[in-house]
Amino acid sequence: MMTMHTLPKLIELEVGQVIGATEFLLTRDSLVRYAGASGDFNQIHYRDDVAAAVGLPGVLAHGMLTMGAAVQVAVDWVGDAGRVIDYQVRFTKPVVVHPTDGAVLIVTGTIGAIDAEANTVRIDLEAVFEDAKVLGKAQAVVRL
């Protein structure tokens, strides 16, 4: 049975309001699946020896995988990925994926701006791994 998602009402929103938070467990399996789906088979995403050889602290999650996970908080809130009309991030720190424990990415979305005339809301996304922000200026604009 399909349920309809109720869109947030602009009048009920305020800047600074938290719209949601989610934890994403990224595992080595996640990286393999993402590599297959994206075609990004850079060995720093699955081989510890290659990551170490280029000076990395370990195997890294793909930046686009991290970015895609982070925007999911805004998508879940608005109920439709097609309502995301702009999305930008700056990568600030890598997400190192432990071979057995994986990596937990914690994402929180907060309303950063409301444009009543355009009927849009800017969602500021905070993505944290091991107490460090891994995305800077991560912002998704959604149309209500």
pLDDT of 46 reads: 94
Tokens found for residue 128: 């944290």
Q: 140: closest CA among 129, 128, 127, 131?
A: 127
Backbone angles phi, psi at 32, to 5 degrees: -65, -45
CB burial class (10 A; 0-12, 13-18, 19+) of residue 16? exposed
Kindly indicate the confidence band of residue 8, based on its pLDDT and cuts at 50, 70 and 90.
confident
How confident is the model over 54-100, as pLDDT tens digits?
999 999 999 999 999 999 999 999 999 999 999 999 999 999 999 99
- The domain 11-26+62-143 is classified under which CATH number: 3.10.129.10, 3.40.50.12160, 3.40.630.10, 3.40.50.2300? 3.10.129.10
Kindly indicate the confidence band of residue 20, based on its pLDDT and cuts at 50, 70 and 90.
very high
Could you tell me the residue ranges of all domains in the chain? 11-26+62-143
CB 134 within 8 A of CB 127: yes
pLDDT of 4 reads: 66
SS (H, E, C) 16-30: CCEEEEEEEEECHHH
Backbone angles phi, psi at 75, to 5 degrees: -65, -45
Question: How far apart, in whole angstroms, are the C-alpha atoms of residue 128 and residue 143?
Answer: 26
Residues 6 or more apart whose Cβ sits within 8 Å of residue 27: 97, 102, 103
